[in-house]
């Protein structure tokens, strides 16, 4: 059995069972061959993987890697973090080792936002190995960070653990976005279901169409003017005379 320590300080081995490596995929079910270390490592890397999938670019099956007992490609005197099951390569063919600027500026910003959400527990090798994400803190620090993350699962099809407040916030954002498209500013709302919100929006659109059609059907032009006593008397006289 070959063993040692990867350069991030975690125990490494070619025997996955001896270091607790388990099968792993992100929460939408895409596998990372080789797996990752179970527990807090899987929790934190799982968070990064699924957030990457939804917010940066879709994770492509067959392009992703986990545990592999090997030397660090960029410094062969060290064991890779893959050797300890504490690293992921995501969409490797699109972001090959040795390449830079493989993501847009917007994607780069989103990646760093995700890394901030895991409080610096994961390092991204921007600029030279942009597929690669690795745990960069020790076990005690990682345990504290993992405990604060939502339960996203580790490839077993677990769903996002969302509170009622989270759901209300997300639905509210969807409603505001739809209304912004038609030029309406929303100050507050108590609607908390997408179905009900969409029904109201659709009815509002129908009502607007009827209103426009109704105006178009009026056979005369309408002006608004102030009616004085004088003009009122003229109108009454005309009415009396037929």
- Measure Cα distances from 110 to 51, 62, 104, 210, 227 in Å: 9, 23, 10, 43, 61
Instruction: Determine, yes or no, domain membership for 226.
Output: no
User: Does residue 174 share a domain with residue 68?
Assistant: no
Domain membership of residue 133 as a residue range: 3-147
Residue 122 has pLDDT above 50, yes or no: yes
User: Does residue 78 share a domain with residue 35?
Assistant: yes
- pLDDT, residue 123, reads 96
User: Does residue 20 share a domain with residue 112?
Assistant: yes
Give tens-digit pLDDT for 27-61: 566 677 789 999 999 999 999 999 999 999 999 88
Residue among 36, 143, 136 at smallest CA distance from 90: 36
Instruction: Determine, yes or no, domain membership for 240.
Output: no
Question: What is the average per-residue pLDDT within 117-130?
Answer: 95
From CA 143, how far away is CA 145, in angstroms rounded?
A: 5
Q: What single DSSP character describes residue 93?
A: G
User: Does residue 121 share a domain with residue 168?
Assistant: no
Give tens-digit pLDDT for 63-101: 999 999 999 998 999 999 999 999 999 999 999 999 999
User: Does residue 42 share a domain with residue 127?
Assistant: yes
Whole-prediction pTM = 0.61
- pLDDT, residue 33, reads 79
Give tens-digit pLDDT for 161-176: 445 555 556 556 655 6
């Amino acid at each position: 059995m070959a063993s040692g320590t990867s350069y991030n300080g975690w125990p490494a081995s070619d025997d996955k069972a001896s270091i607790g490596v388990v099968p792993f995929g992100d929460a939408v079910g895409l596998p990372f061959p080789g797996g990752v270390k179970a527990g807090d490592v899987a929790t934190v890397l799982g968070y990064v993987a699924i957030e990457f999938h939804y917010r940066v670019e879709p994770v492509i099956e067959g392009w992703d890697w986990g545990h592999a007992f090997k030397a660090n490609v960029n410094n062969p005197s060290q064991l890779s973090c893959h050797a300890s099951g504490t690293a992921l390569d995501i969409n490797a063919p699109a972001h090959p080792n040795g390449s830079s600027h493989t993501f847009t500026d917007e994607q780069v910003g989103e990646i760093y936002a995700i890394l901030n959400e895991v409080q610096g527990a994961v390092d991204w090798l921007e600029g030279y190995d942009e597929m690669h994400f690795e745990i960069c803190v020790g076990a005690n620090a990682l345990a504290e960070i993992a405990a604060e993350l939502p339960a996203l699962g580790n490839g077993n099809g677990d769903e996002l653990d969302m509170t009622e407040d989270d759901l209300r916030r997300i639905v509210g954002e969807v409603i505001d976005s739809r209304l912004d498209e038609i030029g309406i500013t929303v100050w507050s709302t108590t609607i908390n279901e997408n179905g009900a919100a969409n029904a109201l929006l659709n009815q509002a659109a129908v009502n607007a169409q009827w209103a426009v059609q109704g105006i178009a059907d009026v056979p005369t032009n309408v002006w608004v003017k102030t009616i004085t006593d004088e003009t009122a008397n003229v109108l009454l006289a005309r009415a009396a005379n037929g």
